[in-house]
Amino acid sequence: SIFTPTNQIRLTNVAVVRMKRGGKRFEIACYKNKVVGWRSGVEKDLDEVLQTHSVFVNVSKGQVAKKEDLISAFGTDDQTEICKQILTKGEVQVSDKERHTQLEQMFRDIATIVADKCVNPETKRPYTVILIERAMKDIHYSVKPNKSTKQQALEVIKQLKEKMKIERAHMRLRFILPVNEGKKLKEKLKPLMKVVESEDYSQQLEIVCLIDPGCFREIDELIKKETKGRGSLEVLSLKDVEEGDEKFE
């Protein structure tokens, strides 16, 4: 046929799922925004997913797959059964709304993680998720769909620090060090500790301090190496935050 705008039919509401099997490519025509739902088990009605139960070689051209090909590839000619197989195993075009909800979900997740890990250093109180979300939008953070949300959350914290007063909640640690190595070690630990809350030199050197959770491993290794396993380290609290409600008076 002549390729003119009038007799050109566009597939506007079709999401194609493709699968290669036995050297042949098979396609099925599905509704948009429905395939991911089917895969996650939310959608249970097949008719809500499939436009038609027939299997195609090329959906946009309307070429239906031949019976022999189907039997050779799938071992059956039950179109519905094959459709189900293709639906679960084939490659999907992710539709706009599906992508949007996924990104939105990740965005929320990141914000939740950030809000959970961080505090306002002035008040030692957490920020709310909504506020973090807004801050993330302010710095134009874009979610990367193939990176874990936790990893991205740590990135976000770094970026947010430039814009607002936010800090990771400090860990409270207690070191118990043998006295002779204690002094030396303390000097080395000093740059890593944020706040030293108490020091006690009785039989052993006992220090309670706040650190940035990022340097925990470093401190841990340092102590282990320097004291050859005789010093010990104890996490008193993972997050140093204010508890309870506060009323302004």
Partner 1 sequence: MVLSGVDKMIRLQKNTANIRNICVLAHVDHGKTTLADCLISSNGIISSRLAGKLRYMDSREDEQVRGITMKSSAISLHYAEGHEEYLINLIDSPGHVDFSSEVSTAVRICDGCIIVVDAVEGVCPQTQAVLRQAWLENIRPVLVINKIDRLIVELKFTPQEAYSHLKNILEQINALTGTLFTSKVLEERAERETESQAKPHSEQGEQVYDWSAGLEDVDDSQLYFSPEQGNVVFTSAIDGWGFGIEHFARIYSQKIGIKKEVLLKTLWGDYYINMKAKKIMKVDQAKGKKPLFVQLILENIWSLYDAVLKKDKEKIDKIVTSLGLKIGAREARHSDPKVQINAICSQWLPISHAVLAMVCHKLPSPLDMTSERVEKLLCTGSQTFESLPPETQALKAAFMKCGSEDTAPVIIFVSKMFAVDVKALPQNKPRPLTQEEMAQRRERARQRHAEKLAAAQGQTSQGPTQDGGALETSPHEDEPRGDEPDVASVSRQPVSQEESSQEAFIAFARVFSGIARRGKKIFVLGPKYSPVDFLQRVPLGFSAPLEDLPPVPHMACCTLENLYLLMGRELEDLEEVPPGNVLGIGGLQDFVLKSATLCSLPSCPPFIPLNFEATPIVRVAVEPKHPSEMPQLVKGMKLLNQADPCVQVLIQETGEHVLVTAGEVHLQRCLDDLRERFAKIHISVSEPIIPFRETITKPPKVDMVNEEIGRQQKVAVIHQTKEEQSKIPEGIHVDSDGLITIPTPNKLATLSVRAIPLPEEVTRILEENSDLIRSMELLTSSLNEGRNTQAIHQKTQEKIWEFKGKLEKHLTGRKWRNTVDQIWSFGPRKCGPNILVSRSEDFQNSVWSGPAGRESKEASRFRDFGNSIVSGFQLATLSGPMCEEPLMGVCFVLEKWELNKCAEQGASDKQHQGQCDLAGEGQGGGKTCHVGDENQEQQDVCSEPFEETSQKGDSPVIDCYGPFSGQLIATMKEACRYALQVKPQRLMAAMYTCDIMATSDVLGRVYAVLSKREGRVLQEEMKEGTDMFIIKAVLPVAESFGFADEIRKRTSGLASPQLVFSHWEVIPSDPFWVPTTEEEYLHFGEKADSENQARKYMNAVRKRKGLYVEEKIVEHAEKQRTLSKNK
Residues within window 103-162 making contact with partner 1, judged by CB under 8 A: 104-113, 115-117, 119-120, 122-123, 125-132, 134-135, 138, 148-151, 154
Q: Does 80 help bind partner 1 (rule: CB under 8 A)?
A: no
DSSP 3-state of 129: helix
Q: Does 12 help bind partner 1 (rule: CB under 8 A)?
A: yes
Report the half-sphere exposure of 182 (CA within 13 A, side-chain side): 18
d(CA 50, CA 95): 15
Site string for partner 1, 203-222 (x = CB under 8 A): ----------xxxxx--xx-
Q: Does 195 help bind partner 1 (rule: CB under 8 A)?
A: no
Q: Which is nearer to partner 1, 26 or 38 (CB)?
A: 38
User: Minimum CB separation from partner 1 for residue 183, in Å?
Assistant: 22
Q: Does 181 help bind partner 1 (rule: CB under 8 A)?
A: no
User: Minimum CB separation from partner 1 for residue 104, in Å?
Assistant: 8
Please report, as a single letter, which amino acid is at residue 206.
Answer: E
Q: Which is nearer to partner 1, 71 or 130 (CB)?
A: 130
Longest dimension (CA), the chain: 95
User: Minimum CB separation from partner 1 for residue 210, in Å?
Assistant: 13
Tell me how far apart the terminal alpha carbons of the chain are, to the nearest angstrom.
81
Q: Are strands 232-237 and 193-201 parallel, antiparallel or unpaired?
A: unpaired
Q: Which stretch binds partner 1 (CB under 8 A): 70-78, 85-93, 165-173, 179-187?
A: 165-173
Site for partner 1 in 81-100 (CB under 8 A): 97-98
Q: Which stretch binds partner 1 (CB under 8 A): 10-18, 61-69, 71-79, 180-188?
A: 10-18
* Count of residues that bind partner 1 according to CB under 8 A: 83
Site for partner 1 in 18-77 (CB under 8 A): 31-34, 36-37, 40-43, 48-49
User: Minimum CB separation from partner 1 for residue 188, in Å?
Assistant: 18
Q: Which is nearer to partner 1, 43 or 197 (CB)?
A: 43
Q: Which is nearer to partner 1, 43 or 77 (CB)?
A: 43
Q: Which is nearer to partner 1, 72 or 105 (CB)?
A: 105
Question: What long-range pairs does 209-217 form, CB within 8 A, spacing at least 24?
Answer: 209/172, 209/173, 209/175, 210/170, 210/171, 210/172, 210/173, 210/240, 211/170, 211/171, 211/173, 212/167, 212/168, 212/170, 212/171, 213/117, 213/168, 213/169, 213/170, 213/171, 213/238, 214/168, 216/171, 216/173
How many CB atoms sit inside 10 A of residue 153's CB? 21
- Give the single-character DSSP code of 42: S
- Give the single-character DSSP code of 75: S
Cα torsion through 152, 156, 157, 159, rounded to 10: 140
